[in-house]
Chains A and B, each alone.
Chain A
Amino acid sequence: MAVIPWVEPWVIEKVLFATWETIYMVLSSAFLSYVFGLPLGVILVTTAAGHVLENKGVNSVLGSIVNATRSIPFIIFLILLIPFTRMVVGTSIGTVASIVPLTLAAIPFVARLVETSLKEIEWGLIEAALSMGAGAWQIVAKVLLPEAAPSIILGVAITTINLVGYSAMAGIVGGGGLGTLAYYYGYQRYEDTVMWVTVIVLIILVQGFQMFGDKFADKIANKRR
């Protein structure tokens, strides 16, 4: 399997498998973090003072939790979560186990990104909907999310790219994927080739996610222009 002459076949095999693991971890945790982070972002925006679901208590409690979680460095968060991960998945090692801390770390980040996107929407649009008798959830579903869609999609690309980096960190504590490969072979066994190939694959992955996000966001924005 000498596809690339100067890289030994076993390296290619390992890298391909690790790449698949990374993509699997990153996309699963990106998806899950939006399942929780998107509603959280919506709540953060709509419960703010003067907004359609104004609720000072909920807003400040959620805001503080988000800030607290975001202030813990990921590597420490990862270790702190080991017992919880074990409880949920049954193990703290491997790709599936990594999805737990990756998702939990990304949720507050996603919530803030979504919040920022939704805040860009002109208040006049919300007022127009209110003047037609729209309720809070109609405003979220029919005004806030569709209007902010291009910006939210760019946020998905940013999140996914951040998760690529985080997943490599998770790899160091046995999370699987390119991080584990680079650490075991590249660092502990001095296999420079593995290290370099891993870095190149990571660059390609990040480029790919960004390009995909830009394209998709542009497509929506262009349609509206």
Chain B
Amino acid sequence: MIEIKNLSKIFTIPGQEILALDNVSLTVKAGEIFGIIGLSGAGKSTLIRCINMLERPTKGSIIVDGREITALDKRELRSARQKIGMIFQQFNLLSSRTVSDNVMFPLEIAGFARSAALKRTRELLELVGLSDKAGVYPAQLSGGQKQRVGIARALANDPKLLLSDEATSALDPQTTRSILKLLKDINQQFNLTILLITHDMNVIKEVCDRVAVIDNSRIVEVGDVLKVFSNPGTPTSRSFVNTVVNREVPGELLHGFAARNDGAAVKLVRVSFIGPSAGEPLISSMVRKYEVEVNILYGNIDRIKDTPFGNLTVELIGPPGLLQESLDYLRGRGLEIEVLSDA
């Protein structure tokens, strides 16, 4: 759906050049929810704004749904933009228009007949659950309701792609969850591709299929969300994952960890469970099978999009060979194993 190739963006302000995007390449598949996460200033906002050319790239190309956005003239760009919806952190609703007229706005721009536009608007308000607010002005709505209007407006022209620019960053956690659920629903109902940017790993966890981590103007990691959560490949990714899933082993635990004097080996291991394996009693069957000792130190279980995901920090005690075999057993059952310390 989106193909970004060697994209760079340099902002020039008097006496200074700022590299906002450094040779970014990325592919977003049709129908997926793709998240880009990064800290403020990492370049994620510039990246999403390049996709509908609100920001003109300095170098590189972007193909959206088969059309090279970066090569279009003004008129073509306007018609291409009609098929790319966008929602914003600050909602950006027109205060001069009622809810219904805000949703109708893109239809007016696209030149719809009024009766058709009205019909479509009613459908959209129904979809986002705001039919009763049609005649109300945005100032009377809550943040969550405003974003629902924003979503209805973004969907008006039946876009194939929805860009979400920090759409939940101004909302409280509960409202954020309800908006994310709505996004997930429309993604499934209309097979709409969604590209979102956020600094909140919870958003990635709740809705995204794949994630790209952006740091210092570069993409440092791209992958399935489950993969990145269970095995983050870079320090930046790790710190984002840690904001949601506590993976850090407390310092005292590592300090107290020492070799034994009875010849047994000790390993401090983190086991990550994904999907169905999270429901199986794999640790206890390992214990029975290999007769090693397991000391459970810390664990939690969570849900990533719709998949259960858990991790457990354990101390394994036993003869060195058996320990290795038991870890291989767990790996063989699809668990992610990370040896934190060895003695």
Contacts and interface: CB of A to CB of B under 8 A. Distances in A.
Q: Tell whether A and B belong to one assembly.
A: yes
Interface residues of B, number: 29
B139 interface: yes
B139 A142 contact: no
B304 interface: no
A127 B92 contact: yes
Contact of A134 (B54, B78, B85): B78
Contact of B81 (A124, A125, A130, A147): A130
Nearest to A225: B139
Contacts of A130: 54, 81
Given A128-B92, A133-B109, A147-B94, 14 more contacts: A125-B92, A127-B54, A128-B86, A128-B88, A131-B81, A131-B84, A132-B86, A132-B109, A133-B81, A138-B108, A142-B108, A223-B137, A224-B139, A225-B140
Contacts of A135: 78
Interface string B35-58: 000000000000000001010000
Given A132-B81, A133-B81, A133-B110, A124 B88 contact: yes
> Which bracket fits the contact residues of A?
20 to 34
Contacts of A122: 90, 92
Interface in B143-186: 153, 157, 163
Given A132-B109, A134-B78, A224-B139, A146 B92 contact: no
A124 B90 contact: yes
Interface string B44-83: 0000000010100000000000000000000001111110
B109 A134 contact: yes
A224 B86 CA distance: 24
A132 B106 contact: yes
B52 A131 contact: yes
A146 B94 contact: yes
Q: Is chain B's binding surface mostly helix, strand, loop or mixed?
A: mixed
A134 B75 CA distance: 10
Contacts, number: 67
Interface string A159-174: 0000000000000000
A224 B54 contact: no
Q: Is chain A's binding surface mostly helix, strand, loop or mixed?
A: helix
9 contacts: A124-B88, A130-B54, A130-B81, A132-B106, A133-B106, A135-B78, A142-B108, A147-B94, A225-B139
A122 B137 CA distance: 17
A224 B93 CA distance: 12
B96 interface: yes
Given A124-B90, A223-B137, A224-B137, A129 B95 contact: no
Contacts of A146: 94, 96-97
A124 B110 contact: no
Nearest to B159: A132
A143 interface: yes
Contact of A132 (B96, B137, B157): B157
B34 interface: no
A131 B86 contact: yes
Contacts of B85: 131
B96 A147 contact: yes
